[in-house]
Amino acid sequence: MCSGREVDAVVTAAGLRELLEAGRYQDIKAAFENVPAADAARMLLELPERQRALVFRLLDKDIALLAFEQLEPADQQELLEALQDHEVLHLLEGMSADDRARLLDEMPAKVATRLLARLTPENREATALLLGYAPETAGRIMTPDYISLRASTTAREALEKIRRAGVDSETIYYLYVTDEARRLQGVLSLRQLVLADPDAVVGDLAERNVIHVHTDTDQEQAARLIEMHDLLAIPVVDSENRLVGIVTVDDAVDVLDRETTEDFARLAAMSPAETGDQYFRLSFLGRLVRRLPWLVVLLVAQVLSGGLISLYEQTLADVIALAVFIPMIMATSGNTGAQSVTLAVRGLATGEVEPRHFWRVFAQEIATGFGLGLVLGAVASLVALLITGDPRLGMAVAAAIWGNVIVVGGIGTLLPFILRAARVDPAVASAPLITTLGDAVSLLIYFNAARILYGL
């Protein structure tokens, strides 16, 4: 057994490679015994792929399982490809039902079917149940490992049941009260149970108004409820209100992290696959294909903006200095629109903003745009005046900036709500649309303000 200091010295990527080269396999196994699962997973990832599976095989089975569960899905798949079927089966048998279902779901169908058939009947049934629910629903990510009690159970009897069944449960902090048909009746915490009179009846202790979701509830909605109510888990019921599982807070965090990553990737006109742990696994062609579509859309949009400029060719010919400030005005428009879109998309995605809040949000953004436009317009006007010495040009620039910030800011707020109502993902379409509309609006305001001020 290595001491804590020896472990710290040994368990580094370089240290592991040295031990591997020296064939000191027992030392590697011993070095991982005092290392937290998250650190063990991190160290595995720092090893070359050909050495990763070898070190993983050397770990104690319990440590290996805990480290494996800390890996990202793509890293898990990569490691599984290097293991034999019997090694993969051992991992699957040791995992919780929800983690097992997620892992099998990401495997090729033939491989998943083969492994599922070789699981123990109990694990196979629990896993098949979860895989039977639609993807990205609460039913798909829930775990069937929970503790339920009858309303007539005493606190003493309940604690005894927890001692017997708690080891196999995902969490024992929430205890769910059900009737003979498994219909959800109430919930109480372990704290309530421990502090209660031993002869108190669970039905009298339980909270009857239980926050819950259904098996077909969107996984993000379930995760938001856990976040909103500061829960450690949320019960999942079927169409007949029968308790079938729970979604735990760790799974909720994973869901929210994944959803946020996807939303911001789409907002940047990128594929979610290019973010997070998938980035280094995409080929050159894969990155090209995922980025190209929206970039083509944006390219076409810029061509249209160029066509709009050509409509005011005579205005530019009469006041050539107008061309100097086009990039600044278009950039300000783009930045303003991006800010408004990002705030609206994030608000809708997190649930902080709902469709019923539209007019309130819209009014606030217009008011904010009014103030920002005054400040930015004044600064831009001063810059234009200092560069050209032409007060009319300064006024045209100021009017364009002020109008752009108000109008484009309003459009940027409006778009995500409209797209949401049309059942189009706001994160996907908002960025390209606001870019196109923002450029058009900024040019129209700028050139028309100039024509009025110069009498063209």
Burial class (CB in 10 A: 0-12, 13-18, 19+), 307: exposed
- The per-residue pLDDT of the chain, averaged, comes to 83
9 vs 111, more confident: 111
Q: How much is the average pLDDT of 220-247?
A: 93
pLDDT (0 to 100) of residue 272: 54
Cα–Cα distance measured from residue 209 to residue 345, given in angstroms and rounded to the nearest whole number? 32
Cα torsion through 158, 160, 166, 167, rounded to 10: -170
Q: How confident is the model at residue 7 (pLDDT cuts 50, 70, 90)?
A: very low
What pLDDT does 82 receive?
A: 82
Per DSSP, helices labelled H in 268-325 are: 284-311, 313-318
CA atoms within 13 A on the CB side of 192: 17
Query: All domains of the chain, ordered by start, with CATH?
Result: 4-136 (1.25.60.10), 148-248 (3.10.580.10), 283-454 (1.10.357.20)
* Confidence label for 429 from pLDDT (cuts 50, 70 and 90): low
Q: What confidence score (pLDDT) does residue 9 get? A: 41
Give the span between the Cα atoms of 406 and 414, in whole angstroms: 12
Which residue has better confidence, 81 or 401?
401
Q: Quick check: 392 pLDDT over 50?
A: yes
Contact 392, 453 (CB under 8 A): yes
Counting Cβ atoms within 10 Å, is residue 261 exposed (0-12), middle (13-18) or buried (19+)?
middle
pLDDT confidence band for 80 (50 / 70 / 90): confident
**Highest mean pLDDT (candidates 153-167, 268-282, 292-306):** 153-167
CA distances from 280 to 42, 56, 74 (A): 16, 22, 11
* Average pLDDT over every residue of 332-341: 85
pTM: 0.64
- Is the pLDDT assigned to residue 427 strictly greater than 80? no
Specify the range with the lowest mean pLDDT, choosing from 167-181, 221-235, 289-303: 289-303
Averaged pLDDT for residues 81-96: 85
Q: What is the per-residue pLDDT for 273?
A: 53
Which one is predicted more confidently, 427 or 44?
Answer: 44
Quick check: 211 pLDDT over 50? yes
Q: What's the pLDDT band for 42 if we cut at 50, 70, 90?
A: confident
Judge whether 17 and 51 are in contact, CB under 8 Å.
Answer: yes
Give 3-state DSSP helix, strand, coil % of the chain, rounded to 5.
70, 5, 20
d(CA 402, CA 394): 12
